[in-house]
């Protein structure tokens, strides 16, 4: 029986009752619930489905084929955490979640996945026929990833944490790039399975990304400063004819804020080394140019 659990099998319909068909494969009988079928079956037909044991220890055949199976890895959503057992992952079955054992989770429990996080798992069947979640290893993530190009630098990315190391955190982005987050580029260590938003701060020669979870400097210093940075990034030479000595009415007319607010924002940007003022111009420094977000298509149209 164990060699059938967690697999896609083709079985023979041998019997039925009001609510289910019963199918056999290699002498093992599985229940196939009628409510899950799109069309009726007849005794003597064959049917293909996913074989598993549900939470009530019943042998079930489902015509829904989950992506996570024996030898097949896919993301599933964490739905429950139990400190004495591990975490439960939903792979799409209506009556069975897959447990990822605490034995293969981080030793620090605060780094365990929480409900809503994602884990890439395949199914492993033990000698008692129980299904367990097997975490994808580095080779699996590398095999499904693609190489990044240098122009990705400073782009925003979303990714799922798949590996925790002392050296840093590894993620797979939603676009299937491998990313690495050094401890200096995060405020706290993300959980396994956590979905994080970051920005690309470098592209390595082999095509993986260096990612920071810290906000860009201008994003930390207020809306007015962000607006000024947005204005500067649109200028061909990253410079504008407004400084802390500009006329208050001109500032109000162009930026919609008072001169006091404008000067405070400029002060914060200068303190962070993002701008400089000279000869009646406010200009981005090299650091400021490196820190700006890429211009979106909508902004280009504006």
Q: Does domain 147-212 have CATH number 1.20.120.140?
A: no
96 CB-contact burial (10 Å; exposed 0-12 / middle 13-18 / buried 19+):
buried
- CATH code for 217-301? 1.10.10.10
Walk along the chain (302 residues) and give the pLDDT tens digit of each residue.
678 999 999 999 999 999 999 999 999 999 999 998 988 899 999 999 999 999 999 999 999 999 999 999 999 999 999 999 999 999 999 899 999 999 999 999 999 999 999 999 999 999 888 999 999 999 999 999 999 999 999 899 999 999 999 999 999 999 999 999 999 999 899 999 999 999 999 999 999 999 999 877 656 667 888 899 989 999 989 999 999 999 999 999 999 999 999 999 999 899 889 999 999 999 999 888 876 655 444 444 44
- Domain ranges (residues) in the chain: 8-62, 74-136, 147-212, 217-301
CATH topology for the 8-62 domain: OB fold (Dihydrolipoamide Acetyltransferase, E2P) (2.40.50)
CATH topology for the 74-136 domain: OB fold (Dihydrolipoamide Acetyltransferase, E2P) (2.40.50)
Instruction: Give yes or no on whether 74-136 and 217-301 have one common fold.
Output: no
What's the predicted TM-score (pTM) here?
A: 0.72
């Amino acid at each position: 029986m164990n060699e059938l659990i967690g697999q896609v099998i083709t079985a023979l319909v041998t019997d039925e009752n009001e609510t289910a068909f019963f199918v056999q494969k290699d002498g093992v009988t599985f229940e196939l619930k009628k409510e899950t079928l799109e069309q009726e079956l007849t005794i003597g037909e064959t049917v293909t489905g996913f074989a598993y044991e549900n939470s009530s220890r019943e042998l079930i055949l489902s015509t829904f084929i989950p992506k996570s199976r024996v030898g097949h890895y896919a993301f599933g959503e964490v739905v429950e955490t139990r400190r004495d057992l591990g975490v439960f992952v939903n792979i799409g079955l209506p009556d069975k979640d897959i447990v990822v054992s605490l034995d293969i989770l981080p030793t620090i429990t605060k780094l365990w996945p929480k409900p809503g996080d994602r884990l890439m798992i395949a199914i492993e069947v033990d000698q008692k026929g129980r299904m367990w979640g097997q975490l994808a290893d580095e080779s699996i993530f590398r095999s499904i990833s693609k190489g990044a190009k240098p122009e990705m630098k400073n782009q925003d990315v979303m990714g799922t944490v798949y590996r925790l190391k002392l050296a840093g955190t590894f993620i797979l982005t939603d676009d299937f790039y491998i990313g690495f987050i050094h401890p200096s580029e995060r405020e706290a260590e993300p959980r396994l399975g956590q979905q994080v938003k970051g920005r690309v701060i470098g592209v390595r020669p082999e095509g993986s990304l260096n990612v920071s979870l810290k906000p860009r400097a201008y994003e930390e210093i207020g809306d007015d400063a962000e607006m000024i940075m947005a204005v500067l990034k649109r200028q061909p030479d990253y410079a504008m004819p407004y400084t802390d000595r500009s006329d208050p009415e001109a500032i109000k007319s162009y930026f919609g804020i008072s001169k006091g607010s404008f000067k405070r924002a400029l002060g914060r940007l200068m303190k962070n080394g993002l701008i400089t003022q000279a000869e009646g111009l406010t200009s981005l420094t090299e650091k400021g140019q490196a820190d700006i977000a890429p211009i979106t298509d909508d902004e280009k149209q504006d």
